[in-house]
Amino acid sequence: MSYKPQYPYLCSPLKLGTLTLKNRMISAPMGFPELTSEGLLTRDAIAFYELRAKGGAAVVTVGEAVVHYETGRSHGRSINLQHPDALAGLTNLARAIKRHGAAASIELAHGGKFSAVDSLPGERKREAVKYGPVDETLPDGSVVKMMPKEVIKEIVESYGKAAALCKRAGFDMLLVHGGHGWLIEQFYSPATNTRTDEYGGSRENRARLALEILDSIRAAVGKGFPIEFRMSAEESFEGGYRLEEAVELARLIEGRIDLLHVSAGSNEDSFYETHPSMFMERGCNVRFAQEIKKHVSVPVGAIGALNEPDMMEDIIKSGKADVVYMARALLADPELPRKVVQNRADEIMRCIRCFTCLAERMRTQTRICALNPLIGREYESLFERPLSMPKKVLVAGGGVGGMEAALTAAERGHRVTLCEKSGALGGALVSERHIPFKKDVYGIIGTLKRRMELAGVEIRLNAEVDADYVRGEAPDVLIVAVGAEPLMPLKGKNVVLAEDIGKAEIGGRVVVLGGGLVGCETAVFLASEGRSVTLVEMADTLAADANARQRPALMEKVYASCRVVTGVRGLYADEAGLVCENGALIEADTIVAAVGQRPRYEIVDGLRNTAPEVKFVGDCVRAANIREAIFAGYHAGMDI
């Protein structure tokens, strides 16, 4: 019987120069910060990129490779293409990607005036000169010097040398980073380049650096070797260029490139345009690629929170773009392209755009993913203990932690039964089903359920596990994942829990009590439905439990749609609304309580010592977020 792909356009090949891509799904550049202090690749970094090649991407693009390390290092850890010992690591990296049938690409970059912006304080070298198009002082106090022509020449030459090195190492193509506010965009932007020499003024002069860099690379790699150019279609800050000028840049460079990667935004002031948050539509930046494609003859790629196969298929089929790029989506599920090719879209773990991957780098200089415990430990995972003897495993609780534990144990070969006392899987995630911007979070339930079924997990609903139940099943291992219960600080007919807003009657005037992550998201959702919402938090800070990248996007929504009262404790509810400790009454038809959760200690204590091996994961240990629950479940399953 012949195989018919469900997504024929996504799965079709594409020729770039002398290279043929096996499909239209490309792993976009994303850096892996665990390099040596000198900017050399580690085995962990190589394994990070290799995982995407194993997952079926047509191209795996290595991120943040700096061509002129002294002046261009944009992050605390970037690949140093000028180091005399760089070749061996690059060669091993290219081989690791290519042996799985993917094309190996690498991003050639220079931070310009934003060099070292992401360094840890102890690593930041303030004495080093930052070069940009003009003299200026950045908001952090860094002094930027106008880049002299002799330094421009040196950097242009460094691009050519880096390209030659990467080709020698075995890379199949190269990506030149000309967007997101880095050096090339700094020179092209009329807002950041006010030079009066041949590198400033007219559009052609501002594009001169890009053209010289591309010419330097082409001279180094020769004809037929694919060169990709990454550009921002617009800069969302005052004075920055718009789409019309991006089209002109695309026209100027198209004769020098083989693929145009169209992104958006700039480091100046548009992080969330480059990295769309959960409050933005998926594919929101595809329109830029669609427009630019009308004006150039080279293939064009689209990016912007893409991970839905149906959407990506339509992008290619309708001619909006020729390829699609994914970064965060391939952290959540590196096998997404393979699953698309094999008609297994229902098994894809969709990225929830929680920004854990980006925030954790800021916090600890590591790369992780809230949904995928393998990220950041790809190399380590190659040496995990093989299964010696299958065991009978009983999982109590069908929340995300319990499901992950059951799935992991079953995939390792154990005989697993999962019991959920209610009639539905999902635990706390069930309450997300009514919130549009949490659609992907709620979707985790269906994906894990499908994967558990395929792994052979027996799922029992309406099955509460107590000590007698465990004794009757006689498992070798019991995993307790019974979750937590929400705290209810108030009583009254007009008081509901945040997790019940989908099934409770909510009035037009609402007070949300509790300004943590759950409370803030609940408030934003209720306001989006046209209700008048007041958010009350006893601390002075909202969403203290949100990560550093997630919180700004959430706060923008909160303050745009809700009245916020901080530093005030709610005492009790009456028919008129919420009475606070200062005696003030905040009028409301409904009070929504979102003040946290309490682990189910009584259930946990009752299940101790009921099996030869008992493990406790997730909220039943302490109130946790999705990442903590998934990680705990995964490792519980791995440790059996």
d(CA 29, CA 31): 7
Measure the CA angle with vertex 364, ends 361 and 370; round to 5°.
Answer: 60
Give the CB-side neighbour count of residue 276, counting CA atoms within 13 A: 22
> Token pair 């040196």 is at which residue?
154
Residue 8 falls inside a structural domain: no
Q: At residue 302, does pLDDT exceed 50?
A: yes
SS3 94: helix
Residue bearing tokens 């465990």: 470
Q: Are residues 288 and 406 in the same domain?
A: no
Reported as a pLDDT band with limits 50, 70 and 90, residue 127 is low
For the residues 477-491, what does the mean pLDDT come to?
Answer: 91
Q: Which of 232, 451, 425 is nearest to 347 (CA)?
A: 451
Task: Judge whether residue 365 has pLDDT over 90.
Answer: no
Compute the distance between CA of residue 270 and CA of residue 235 in angstroms, rounded to an integer: 7
CATH of the domain at 185: 3.20.20.70
Whether 169 maps to a domain, the answer reads yes
Q: CA nearest 555: which of 539, 536, 541? A: 541
pLDDT (average), residues 455-463: 98
One domain, residues 246 and 347: yes
Do 54 and 114 fall within a single domain? Answer: yes
Q: 60-84, pLDDT tens digit by residue?
A: 999 999 999 989 988 778 999 999 9
Of 405, 430, 401, the C-alpha closest to 417 is 405
Number of domains in the chain: 3
Q: Which long-range contacts (CB under 8 A, 24 or more apart) does 430-437 make?
A: 430/499, 431/498, 431/499, 431/500, 431/501, 431/502, 433/502, 434/501, 434/502, 434/525, 435/521, 435/522, 435/525, 436/525, 436/528, 437/278, 437/279, 437/521, 437/524, 437/525
Q: Which residues contact 279 (CB under 8 A, 6 or more apart)?
A: 437, 524, 553, 554, 557
Q: How confident is the model at residue 3 (pLDDT cuts 50, 70, 90)?
A: confident
The answer to whether 422 and 506 have CB atoms below 8 angstroms apart is no
Distances, alpha carbon 627 to alpha carbons 116, 369, 481, 631, in Å: 29, 8, 14, 6
Instruction: Decide if pLDDT at 121 tops 60.
Output: no
Residue 24 resides in a domain: no
Q: How does strand 79-80 pair with strand 103-109?
A: unpaired
Rounded Cα distance between 273 and 288, Å, is 12
- Residue 620's nearest CA partner among 368, 356, 398 is 398
Instruction: Note the pLDDT of residue 250.
Output: 98
Q: How far apart are CA 266 and CA 275, in angstroms?
A: 10
pLDDT at 501: 92
- Read off the pLDDT of residues 202-215 as tens digits, 9 standing for 90 and up: 999 999 999 999 99
CATH number at residue 589: 3.50.50.60
Domain boundary among 595, 611, 628: 595
The range of the structural domain enclosing residue 136 comes to 29-379
Confidence at residue 128, expressed as pLDDT on a 0 to 100 scale = 63
* pLDDT tens readout for residues 511-533: 999 999 999 999 999 999 999 99
**Same-domain pairing of 632 and 525:** no
Q: Considering the entire predicted model, what is its pTM?
A: 0.93
Whole-Å CA distances, 59 to 65, 166, 203, 216: 16, 15, 32, 23
Distance CA 7, CA 309 (A): 8
**Would 460 be classed as within a structural domain?**
yes
Is residue 413 in a domain?
A: yes
pLDDT of the residue at 430: 93
Q: In 3-state terms, what secondary structure has residue 365?
A: coil
138, pLDDT greater than 50: yes
> If you average pLDDT over residues 272-282, what whole number do you get?
93
Residue 13 is assigned to a structural domain of this protein: no
Same domain as 415, residue 276 = no
pLDDT above 90 coverage of the chain, percent = 85
Nearest in space to 399 (alpha carbons), one of 371, 417, 379, 425: 425
Asked, for residue 6, whether it belongs to a domain, the answer is: no
Total length of the chain? 640
The pLDDT, as a whole number, for residue 118 is 43
Sign of CA dihedral 253, 256, 262, 264: negative
Q: Does residue 126 surpass a pLDDT of 60? A: no
Mean pLDDT over 568-594 rounds to 93
Q: Does 189 share its domain with 234?
A: yes
The mean pLDDT of 116-140, rounded to a whole number, is: 70
Residue pair 335/358 in contact by the 8 Å Cβ criterion:
no
Distances (CA, A) of 68 to 31, 65, 110, 470, 480: 17, 9, 7, 62, 53
pLDDT at 615 over 80: yes
Q: What mean pLDDT, rounded, does the chain reach?
A: 94
Residues 419 and 546 in one domain: no
pLDDT digits (tens, 9 = 90+) for 242-275: 999 999 999 999 999 999 999 999 887 778 899 9
Q: Which residues contact 444 (CB under 8 A, 6 or more apart)?
A: 349, 350, 352, 371, 400, 429, 626
| Pair 295, 399 in one domain | no
Q: Which of 153, 154, 147 is nearest to 130 (CA)?
A: 147
Clarify whether residues 570 and 604 are in a common domain: no
Average pLDDT of the residues in 311-322? 98
Question: What are the structure tokens assigned to 323, written together?
Answer: 């390829």
Residue 140 forms part of a structural domain: yes
Contact criterion met (CB below 8 Å) for 455 and 407: yes
Query: Could you report the per-residue pLDDT of 168-185, keeping only the tens digit for each?
Result: 999 999 999 999 999 999
**Cα 144 to Cα 132: distance, rounded to the nearest angstrom:** 6
Residue 1 has pLDDT above 70, yes or no: no
The CATH number of residue 611's host domain is: 3.40.50.720
Cα 625 vs. chain centroid, distance in angstroms? 16
Residue 139's pLDDT band (cuts 50, 70, 90): confident
Looking at the fold, whether 283 and 358 belong to one and the same domain comes out as yes
Q: Are residues 503 and 452 in the same domain?
A: no
In Å, how far are 309, 316, 360, 466, 598 from 624, measured between CA atoms?
31, 40, 16, 23, 10
Label the pairing between strands 577-580 and 570-574: antiparallel
| Nearby residues of 255 by Cβ (< 8 Å), 6 or more positions away | none
Q: Is 62 found in the same domain as 88?
A: yes
Give the pLDDT confidence of 394-444 residue by residue, as tens digits: 999 999 999 999 999 999 999 999 999 999 999 999 989 999 999 999 999
Which of 503, 493, 525 lies closest to 591, judged by CA? Answer: 493
Under 8 Å between Cβ of 510 and 531 = yes
Q: What's the per-residue H, E or C state across 486-537?
A: ECCCCCCCCEEEHHHCCCCCCCCEEEEECCCHHHHHHHHHHHHCCCEEEEEE
| Last-in-domain residue among 379, 407, 433 | 379
DSSP state of 284: T
Q: What pLDDT does residue 226 have?
A: 98
Domain limit, last residue, from 348, 379, 410: 379
